Each structure stands twice: as C-alpha cells, then as structure tokens.
Chains A and B, each alone.
Chain A
Amino acid sequence: MASTLENLSIMTENLSMDPVYETNWSDIPEEIKLECIEKMELNERLSLRCTAKAERSLVDSQKMKIASGGFQITHIGLNFFPRPQIFKILGNPTEAVELTNYVLRIGVFGGIFVHYRDDDVMHFTEEISTKYIHIVSCKNKTVVDVLQKLKKGVEDIRIKAKRGHEYALDDILANDHVRNVPYWHIEDCYQADSLQKVAQMWINENSKIGTTFQVSKTYQGPPSSEFQRIFLEHFNDHIVSNTGKRIRIRTNNPDRHILLERGLDYNDDGNDEMEESYEQFYRLIVISAEMDESEYDDKCNKWISIIDVENYYGNDDEPNANINENHENIENDDQVENGERNQDVEDDDDW
C-alpha cells in the first residue's frame, strides 16, 4: 500500500505540471469541511475563520472539546489534554472580549477557571458549556453574569471570594444552576446567613440526597458563631439532632434531612474571641432521613481539602497541624430527636 501510494504521489507530482485536477476547498461539501475543522487546532481555526465570511460562520459552528480553560487578566490558557495546552496573550480589552467569547462559543469544556480580570473584559455574551466552573476573586457582577451564562449540565460550582468581594448571595441563589447543582461552595464567605439560605433553598426545591454546599471563612470574615447562630435560629423547629459538631434538620420531604457539619475544632482553652477569628469550614449536605449517625463521614480533611486545596490534604490519616486531633470526637454528642431540643445542647458553647 505504502509503495503504491508513494508511486501514485510521484506520478501525481509529475502530472502536476499539467493541471488536470482543480478540486479545492470550495468544492468540499459543508459537512466534510466541518469534519476537517473539527480536527484542526485552535490556531488553525482562528486563521481559517479570518479568510472569508463563509469560512467564519462554518468555523464558528463547529464545537471544540477543551479539557479546561483559564481566563486570566493577561492571557487565556486552554488545556487540550492529552494534546498540549496553549496560551493566548491578550493584547487589548477588545481582543480579550472577542477571543473570550469566541472560545466560549465553540468550547465544550470539562472545566473553566475565571480569574479576576478588568471590568472591561468581563463581558460574556456567549453561553458557557462546562461541567465544572471555578470563579476566582471576581466582582459580584461577574459572578452573577457567568452563572447566568452557564448551560445545563454543570455539576460543580466553586466561588472563591478573596479580595474581600461581598457577593449578593440572593442573586446567586436565584440562579437555576446554583439551585440544582450537585456540589458548590463559596471560599472565604462573608455571608453569615449563607448556610441558612442554602438549606432553605434546598428545602423549597426538594433537592436530591447528596447535594452539597460548603463554605470557608477566614479571619477577615464574620465570626464563626454567626453562621451557626443564624442557622439554628432559622431552623429552630426543624432540629433533629444537635451536637458540638453537627446539626441535623428535617425538611418538608420525610425521606430527606439536611446535615450541617463544622470542619475544625480548636484548643484555645475557651478563648472564644480568638476562636471566632480563626478560619473555619462548614459543610451542608442533603442526607437520607434513614441515615444513621454511625454512617456519618468522619473524614473532614477530605471535604475541607476540596475547598482549601492549598492547606489541607484529602488524607485524614495525616492530620493537619492546625486541626485538633480530637476534632471529630462524637462520643459526647448530645442529641435531640423528634424536634424536641435538648437544653444541654442549646447551651453548647460551640453553637
């Protein structure tokens, strides 16, 4: 075969002096052109779409699988695993907006990272197709805009609120994707009512078992006790059990409960003021009403590491230095069953 084709190639080259064949790109049917475009890398697609209007609309109609995309201040990075990733340096805001929206238009992403960028390039006109989105240190408008642009099918939403941006939580909670996503979190959360609002939203939506929301708060955020106090106050008549570590509440669906878990315990000899300023992690999860307490997941490092990957490891056999070794001591749990609160629990200093 190889030699036959080589011979044919040589023959063709000889014949090329006399142009018998005139077949060109314009003779190729559109569906085949699209298959060719599908096999092109991004740079070639960008070049082809600049040749003519017809090619532009053809190129723009062909989707491209992108393992992950990062939209930064100075550049866009696209990972085409297993093919190498590429970086596009952004020359000016106009180019940045154009390229961002083009990539969003054609890209079918596994994951997207939107980092803090100047306001003038935060202009998303295209729908975003991704399973995972991580919005890092963006302003409230950007967060809400990006969430609104998401297409169906997002499974994981992560919002990193560093730089002190206080988000309009109600706008975020009004988003359909947020209401239905299996996992989401807010890192460095300033909204102490977030746990209560998310739990209430899940009750209203009758969210599925396993639906999870996590928050972390740093020393800059509101005191840890505020998150807990607001939650307890709001769900006072829903309490199933309350320990120093976990609060379990009923929902309107008799098959489902919601469990709030606190991540860290501190040994500061009762120095509450200090403790209030420390970082803290909370996890809210929809569980089966049948779930026994012995089935609780005691591996808090594992879920904390999802929200703070820099400082925590997923391995609970190697506890982090700043976590009390007895942080998951549930032997002293006090329980409230059937909605009757236990006074001892209410007086628990932790809550």
Chain B
Amino acid sequence: MSSTEQGTSSAAPAEPTTAPESAAAPEVPESFYYVHGKDKVVHKVSAGALQHSALIHGMISNLGYTEEQAKANPFPFENIDGDILQMVVDWCNQHKGKPTPPEDTNLPKQKEKLFDLVLAVNYLEIKELLTYCCKQVAMMVKGKSPEEIREIWMIPTDAEDEAAEKEAKKRAGKEAAGETAAAAGDAK
C-alpha cells in the first residue's frame, strides 16, 4: 500500500513505505467449496462468493478444508431445487466482492420460481438477494385488485379457509378415533 492510501495527513510529502515488489507477500490462492441441491448437481463456488450467505459463511469459516476435502464433501441442500440453487450461486458469483446495486432486474418473473427463490435465499440467509426478491414479489401485484391478487397468489378466501380448517379438524378427529379403536383392539 502506498503512503497516500494510508491517508497521511501531514502536508509534507511522506516517505514512501512501499516494499519492493519482489518482497511482496505472495497472494493467498482463493479457496473453493462445493454445494449441491435436490438434483445432486455439484456447483463449485469460491469462498468469496459464499460470503453473501450468512449460513454457509458460518459453516465454512472454521472448516479449514483442503481443496480435495472440500470437493469430497459438498454441502447438501436437499430442500433447494437444482435450478434455484444455480440461480443463487450465479448471483453470489456475480456480486462477489462488489457493492450490491439498488435494483436487480434479473430475478425470475414467474411466480413459483420467485417464491422458491425467496425460500431458498431466506434459508441460506442472503440478505441483499432477499431484499431484491421481496421487492420483486411486491411488484407482482402492482396495480392489482384484491380479486386479482387472490388469483395470482392463490390466497384462499375466508370461507375456503374455514372450510379447510373444518375438514382438517374432522380428519384429525377421525384419525384420533381410529387410533383409540386400534389401541382398544390391541388391549383385547
């Protein structure tokens, strides 16, 4: 680092402190980790890119894996669809070491994809991407009426909700009765 970058406040020119190039510390090679989703497709991601995910960053911070160990032990995210994990990995790579822009227009417009991405990003604790996703979700219903929103997001009406609740109670009651009868049969 030069003396200027060090922020010397004196008006007099500061003595250069830059070490000769030959003596500079060698760059530490970037470490990589491996992740896979439900489809078992393994993605190689740099530790720098994974810093976006608080969950993964917390997992790898004290691992000290060698390249071979990392390759042999990919992080399994069985609850995340392969293409969704691909999107997440791509986003992390794209924004590695960069300040995140105020908008991200490259998010999926399709409802189910976006909701899957929201769930994955929430699970992986990627705060910035989650903010973009939530904005995108909000945009989906811009200018829409209650009826249209209900249709787009498949929100059940109160009546449907009540009916479903009644049905669930009835089912639970039947199951409980069945279990009691079975237990009584076993006792005999």
Chain A interface residues toward B at CB < 8 A: 1-2, 4-6, 8-9, 11-13, 16, 19, 21-29, 32, 35-41, 43-44, 47-48, 50-55
Contact between chains at A41 and B157 (CB < 8 Å):
no
Nearest CB of B to A295, in Å? 36
Encode contact with A along B142-156: 1 for CB under 8 Å, 0 otherwise.
111110111001111
Q: How many A-B residue pairs have CB under 8 A?
A: 113
Say whether B44 faces chain A, with CB atoms less than 8 Å apart.
Answer: no
Contact between chains at B86 and A47 (CB < 8 Å):
no
Interface of A is mostly: helix
Contact between chains at B87 and A8 (CB < 8 Å):
yes
Say whether B107 faces chain A, with CB atoms less than 8 Å apart.
Answer: yes
Contact between chains at B142 and A41 (CB < 8 Å):
yes
Q: Which of A1, A12, A48 contacts B149 (CB 8 A)?
A: A48
Contact between chains at A51 and B119 (CB < 8 Å):
no
CB contacts (< 8 Å) of A35 on chain B: these are 130-131, 134
Interface size bracket, B side? 35 or more
**CA separation between A39 and B132, bound complex, in Å?**
10
Contact between chains at A48 and B107 (CB < 8 Å):
no
Contact between chains at A47 and B146 (CB < 8 Å):
yes
Q: What are 28 A-B interface contacts by the 8 Å CB criterion?
A: A1-B91, A1-B93, A1-B94, A2-B106, A4-B86, A4-B87, A5-B108, A8-B113, A9-B109, A9-B110, A12-B110, A13-B110, A16-B110, A16-B112, A22-B112, A26-B153, A26-B155, A27-B119, A28-B118, A29-B122, A32-B134, A36-B138, A39-B135, A44-B142, A44-B149, A50-B146, A52-B150, A52-B157
Q: Which residue of A lies closest to B159 (CB)?
A: A52
**CA separation between A27 and B119, bound complex, in Å?**
9
CB contacts (< 8 Å) of A19 on chain B: these are 112
Q: Which residue of A lies closest to B137 (CB)?
A: A36
Given known contacts A5-B106, A28-B119, A44 and B138 CB-to-CB distance under 8 angstroms: yes
Q: Which of A4, A5, A28, A29 contacts B107 (CB 8 A)?
A: A5
Contact between chains at B155 and A55 (CB < 8 Å):
yes
